Amino acid sequence: MSNGRRPGAGGQRGRGGSKSTLAVPTGRGVTVRVKTAAKRSVSSARWLERQLNDPYVAEAQKQGYRSRAAFKLLQLDEKFHFLKAGARVVDLGCAPGGWTQVAAAKVFKSGGGKIVGIDLLPVDPIPGAQLIEMDFMAPEAPDALKSLLDGPADVVLSDMAASATGHARTDHLKIMALAETAYDFAAEVLAPGGTFIAKVLQGGATGELLAQLKRDFAEVKHVKPPASRSDSAEIYVVALKFRGKSA
């Protein structure tokens, strides 16, 4: 299981991403075709072709973001305005760092703010952010994050995803387990009025989690940002104005 690896323009150290206005190419230029080679499978060729023709991948490289996923968070924040200067943010599944870059550019503007991130995979340092390499599902992970956070959080983000099996029901259950665990943690650290955002699969947060979020937050929405690929089943649950966890 890989909790939080985001595909995209990996390996870019970037500037931290200072732009929130999205000028993304339409992708109507020349289409790049990739042929299979002796050491390249059909699926690998298709992935590479999609990357080469994805305008968000190109724009991420241009703006210095480590992944195209940075635009998903930018678009969510443009809609709901939860990344404020001086805010305290937790990024669950932070590799390769695109979401942390976006958060850093927003919350560190005033010289205050705090960002704590965690991922199974190593993440190159991002100025001001405290990042730990650890499985969020490990029993010791919540306390490690709380120790770094050293106080309440204003925003808890989860872009975590388990490795896909190809079986829709199984994949849905796996990602819901991550989202539920993320919320259990968020409910312990969020300050009143805080925001919780988590990736789920099409159909959104369901059952017990959705009911809990509706009890604990003033607003709960399901959103598919434009940067989320149309052929992806991912969607985000956005819970705003935390009221405190109900019994």
List, by residue number, the catalytic residues. Answer: 199
Known binding residue 119? Answer is yes
Tell me which H or E stretch contains 154.
strand 153-158
Known binding residue 135? Answer is yes
> Exposed, middle or buried: residue 183 (CB in 10 Å: 0-12, 13-18, 19+)?
buried
Helix segments in the chain, DSSP class H: 42-52, 55-63, 70-80, 98-107, 141-149, 168-189, 207-216
Quickly count: other Cβ atoms within 10 Å of residue 235's Cβ.
18
Known binding residue 99? Answer is yes
Number of H helices, E strands in the chain: 7, 7
Known binding residue 231? Answer is no
Q: In whole angstroms, give the CA distance from residue 179 to residue 193.
A: 20
Query: How far from each other are the two terminal CA atoms of the chain, in whole angstroms?
Result: 31
HSE value, Cβ hemisphere, 13 Å, CA-based, for 241: 7
Pairing between β-strand 114-119 and β-strand 234-242 as defined by DSSP bridges: unpaired
Beta bridge partners, 220, equal: 239
Quickly count: other Cβ atoms within 10 Å of residue 67's Cβ.
26
Which residues does the annotation place in the binding site for S-adenosyl-L-methionine? 97, 99, 119, 135, 159
Which residues does the annotation place in the binding site? 97, 99, 119, 135, 159
